[in-house]
């Protein structure tokens, strides 16, 4: 295996970041980092309300499973919940998992000195 192949193998085998969030009900949900494709799809969604629902539908799971907690039909109910508490916990976790500015800053710190 060449060095290039090793780099590619490591790059494409990167694990999805996950956060367990304890809800006020006593249950936990698993919030998963979206894939590059899913993140680009979110950016292309012009309707902000539908974009927010997509974040919940696509990235919130029953812990340790591939079972999604929310579904498309939850749109109306989602629009009526308070923008605090459990909603805020999930959105904060998702924002941290999708934080491109932080990821870019962290990557730059890890590069070391640049060549002039």
**Sign of the torsion angle spanned by Cα atoms 64, 107, 112, 114:** positive
Q: What angle do CA 64, 70, 71 make, to 5 degrees?
A: 125
Output the pTM of the full model.
0.75
Could you tell me how far CA 103 lies from the centroid of its own chain? 13
**DSSP SS3 for 60:** strand
Q: CA-CA distance, 66 to 2, in Å (whole number)?
A: 34
Burial of 86 (0-12, 13-18, 19+ CB in 10 A): middle
For the chain, what are the domain ranges?
Answer: 14-94
Which residues does 23 contact at the CB level (< 8 Å), separation at least 6? 29, 86, 89
Q: What is the CATH number of domain 14-94?
A: 3.30.2220.20
Q: Is the pLDDT assigned to residue 7 strictly greater than 50?
A: yes
Residues 66-114 pLDDT 10s:
999 999 899 899 999 998 999 999 999 988 888 755 544 454 454 444 4
The CA distance from 45 to 115, in Å, is: 39
Model confidence pLDDT, tens digit, residues 21-46: 999 999 999 999 988 888 888 888 89
């Amino acid at each position: 295996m060449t060095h290039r192949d090793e780099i590619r193998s490591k790059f494409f085998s990167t694990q999805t970041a996950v956060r367990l969030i304890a809800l006020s009900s006593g249950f936990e949900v698993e919030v998963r980092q979206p894939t590059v494709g899913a993140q680009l799809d979110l950016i292309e969604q012009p309707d902000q309300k539908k974009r927010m629902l997509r974040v919940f539908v696509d990235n919130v799971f029953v812990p340790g499973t591939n079972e999604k907690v929310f579904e498309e039909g939850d749109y109306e109910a989602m629009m009526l919940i308070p923008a605090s508490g459990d909603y805020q916990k999930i959105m904060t976790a998702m924002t941290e998992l999708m934080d491109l500015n932080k990821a870019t800053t962290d990557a730059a710190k890890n590069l070391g000195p640049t060549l002039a």
